[in-house]
Chain A
Amino acid sequence: MKNRTFLQRIIGAPYIFWAAVFIVVPLIIVVYYSFTDAAGNFTLDNMKNLSDYGQIFRDSILYSLAATAISLILAYPFAYVMSRKREKTQQIMMVLVMLPMWMSLLILTYSWMNILERQGIVNTFLTKIGLSPMTLIGTPGAVIFGMVYNYIPYMILPIYSVMSKIEPSVLEAAEDLGSGSVSKLYRVILPLSMPGVVSGITMVFVPSVSTFYISQKLGDGKILLVGDIIERQIQGNYNYNSGAALSFVLMVLIILSLALMKLFAGEADDSLYV
């Protein structure tokens, strides 16, 4: 590749400025509070206390991984079907995918409670047809389901937008060369859609680790995740230092997880052609 043009060098300037002021500075604030106590003195106490939360960190990451995996498995075929439709249909499908997310998560969660509760819609239906009711709410499954429901559009969209531009001619070429459907999927579509998959995984895994609202409502307040702890420390205990420390460690864990994932996915999110 030739040397970068002036435009290519300068186009990032607004973002770099923005990131420096509104992402890096608040980050420094968080790090500062992580390592100080209420009086402002340097301390490692916040970090030491974190060892009590090992199980909760582990649980949070596991829940997120589960939600991410399920989202991926469901979103991938969905995005594929979407990408093969007419352009007009694709647009409508995209809006329809996002539309539920415009309707206040609180309201939708209440509706889900209505559906999944002990005397809720699902159980009423089950008893009507003679089956015994199931306890759906208050279970880890309900929380993971809630996470998937909340985040799946963020997995569908990036995968779809990459798949939509996979040249039909590439697929035809693969068929001409004798490729069956499965092989076509595995050797052609999958690698080409990888950038979208990696983005999707990031946009689902990362925010879901620190979520707290979903686990409160769908977990009947019994499932304790990192987001709940941080919220309680900051608001319930007025302890921003402890909350910041937890958040900082969480950030480090997520960065490590993402780095691990990049290792497995190869250089997929980098330029494929260079």
Chain B
Amino acid sequence: MKKTIGNIFVGLMYLILYLPLLVMVVFSFNAGSSTSVFKGLSFKWYVELFTNSTDVGVPVRNTLILAVVSAVIATVIGTAAAVYIYYVRSKLWKNTLNTVTNIPMMNPDIVTGVSLMLLFVFVGRLVGAVNSLNFFTLLIAHITFNIPYVILNVLPKLNQTDPHLAEAAQDLGSTPTESFFRVVLPAIMPGVTSGFMMAFTLSLDDFIISYYTTGTDFQTLPLYIFNMVKKPVKPHIYALYSIIFLLVLAVLLFTNISGMKDKKEKK
């Protein structure tokens, strides 16, 4: 009984989460160009995506690369940071670190974007570069706003883990490094994973910070879309996201079916 209520609740939540997605998929088959008036079924936007040079392939690829790379680096630095913060003894230093961690989240994107741009320009001037912004400044910016989310996902898991576990491992002869990788890391893995997911997600859709920290040679999909201000969003973007959505679903389904007999949960 309780389980059914729980499942219904979760089902409803998913329904609401996916409602706009479903509307998007429906409108990707819109014969017209409107996002609010449905004029009949048509595949033309899909055909459009695959045949005409709509310059959307490159931004998509760029966005994916940027998201994966910045999420990976942020996860590594962030996890290490969370471990460090966890073991810090001084209350003052700990609180300072926690506050500094939250700062990138506190500023509106435009302030973060402009202040990073100013920093990069300053460095660029020092080095005498013509273009102070490029893929690397964009990457740095993304890693910077991703790290707090990783830390905030890993820290609770560290708090949950029995600190004596790591000590016990060392008492039994492991080096500190071994005890970290074999004992602590597996215990906090769910936090690391959700931190990575969040970082990846944030990177995928970032617009304002990206605008102010990217150069001329790296256009991302959000920039491509958000700058469609004077004109309405064309449905071929809907088709693009519908395809991505269906692809991810397909991969999920595939791995679910194939991995039915999974190994038991590690302790």
Contact = CB atoms under 8 A, between A and B. Distances in A.
Interface of A: 1-2, 4-9, 11-12, 14-15, 18-19, 22-27, 29-30, 74, 77-78, 80-82, 84, 87-88, 92-115, 117, 120-121, 149, 152-154, 157-158, 160-162, 164-165, 181, 192, 195-196, 198-199, 202-203, 206-207, 209-212, 226-227, 230-231, 234-235, 240, 243-244, 247, 250-251, 254-255, 258, 269-274
B186 to A, nearest CB: 11
B163 A7 contact: no
A72 B137 CA distance: 35
B183 to A, nearest CB: 13
A12 to B, nearest CB: 3
Nearest to B25: A111
Given A15-B84, A195-B155, A271-B86, 14 more contacts: A4-B87, A6-B176, A26-B116, A88-B259, A100-B18, A107-B20, A160-B194, A161-B194, A198-B156, A234-B110, A243-B114, A247-B111, A250-B107, A255-B106
A26 B112 contact: yes
Interface stretch (B50-58, B74-82, B127-135): B74-82
Nearest to A121: B23
A107 B241 contact: yes
B244 A102 contact: yes
Tell me the dominant secondary structure on chain B's binding face. helix
A199 B148 CA distance: 10
Contacts of A110: 35, 233
Contacts of A154: 149, 198
Tell me the dominant secondary structure on chain A's binding face. helix
A230 B110 contact: yes
Given A15-B77, A272-B159, A114 B35 contact: yes
The 8 nearest A-B residue pairs measured at CB:
A12-B84, A111-B20, A195-B156, A15-B81, A26-B115, A210-B108, A161-B190, A81-B6
A152 B256 CA distance: 25
Contacts of B147: 15, 18
B226 interface: yes
A208 B111 CA distance: 15
